[in-house]
Amino acid sequence: MDDLDLRQHLPGNLPQLFADASVPRTLSVPLPAGDVVWPDPGYPQRQLTLRPAFWVSDDPVPGELWARLRAEHERSGLWPLLLDESDQPWAAGQVAPEPVSEIGNYAPIAFMSEVWSDWAEQVADEDAEDLAPFGLQCPGPAPRGMALEDPGVVADRHARALAGRGMSLGLVAVERSADVLAAVGWQGALNHNEWTAPLSAVLRGWEERFGARVVGLGFNTLELSVAGPPVTTRHALQVAAEHWAFCPDILFQGPGTLAGYAEEIRGRTSWSFWWD
């Protein structure tokens, strides 16, 4: 008997999350009560394939469960999420999944440059000082950070901290954490960007350069763990510029200047975003 047959296959209706349910996948971690979430047919959809967007638990879960599921991601194909405000949009299915295959069509530098250019066309000269030292000129992506710890260890620690808020568990069928925004059809940044695939493309870049992992989602919030954050003022400014293009509200509804925000993220192993 093959070793795979000795392990527990994906329980319940979890196989429905995958486009190819015939690929062998296993999960040895017992799950709490929960169910898959189908996109609301009355909500505008962007993915033609009809299948559930994700699985969500009925009740809040401890961070330790998140860590155990994260460790099994390679075998299960399911990335765990801590979901805030679980009644809506999660349980209501007010999501619009996008094909994960489209994420690779977007270049993070192009997204950043477009956001910066649109802002530069509208802003008054004196307001450009908020993004000093870059001003109206998009600086492009920041250099790679140096990992302080294993990304999985950092992600597990952040999950344990977030779980104290009483968050539900989500499971998403993706190969990497950056893709969950598109896969679940998250709509939290609609006031900034209509599509989520470009945002997932940015997250892929942060995964590769900073060891970032998606840990939690809310109605309009995003929580990342970061294994290789910027530790110098100069590097933090460059990373802060990327964060601003990704989520302008963190600056304009936060410290107000790029320099002030850069000091907030320098050396931090978690990044939090919110869209108004």
- How far is Cα 77 from Cα 19, in angstroms, rounded to an integer? 12
3-class DSSP state for residue 94?
coil
Count of other CB atoms within 10 angstroms of residue 59: 11
- How far is Cα 188 from Cα 221, in angstroms, rounded to an integer? 7
- How far is Cα 93 from Cα 149, in angstroms, rounded to an integer? 36
One-character DSSP codes across 10-70: PPTTGGGGSS-TTS--B--SPP-SEEEEPPPTTS-----S-S--EEEEEEE--HHHHHHHH
What is residue 8's predicted lDDT score, i.e. its pLDDT? 67
- How far is Cα 164 from Cα 267, in angstroms, rounded to an integer? 23
Count of other CB atoms within 10 angstroms of residue 50: 9
What is the pTM for the complete model shown? 0.93
**Residues 269, 255 contacting (CB under 8 angstroms):** no
What is residue 14's predicted lDDT score, i.e. its pLDDT? 95
Count of other CB atoms within 10 angstroms of residue 74: 8
3-class DSSP state for residue 79?
strand
Q: What are the sequence ranges of the domains in the chain?
A: 3-103+151-228+270-274
- How far is Cα 219 from Cα 84, in angstroms, rounded to an integer? 7
What is residue 149's predicted lDDT score, i.e. its pLDDT? 95
- How far is Cα 251 from Cα 31, in angstroms, rounded to an integer? 38
Each residue's pLDDT tens digit in the chain (276 positions)? 344 444 468 999 999 999 887 788 999 999 999 999 999 887 776 766 688 999 999 999 999 999 999 999 999 999 999 998 766 777 788 888 999 999 999 999 999 999 999 998 888 777 788 899 999 999 999 999 999 899 999 999 999 999 999 999 999 999 999 999 999 999 889 888 888 999 999 999 999 999 999 999 999 999 999 999 999 999 999 999 999 999 999 988 889 899 999 999 999 999 999 998
What is residue 190's predicted lDDT score, i.e. its pLDDT? 83
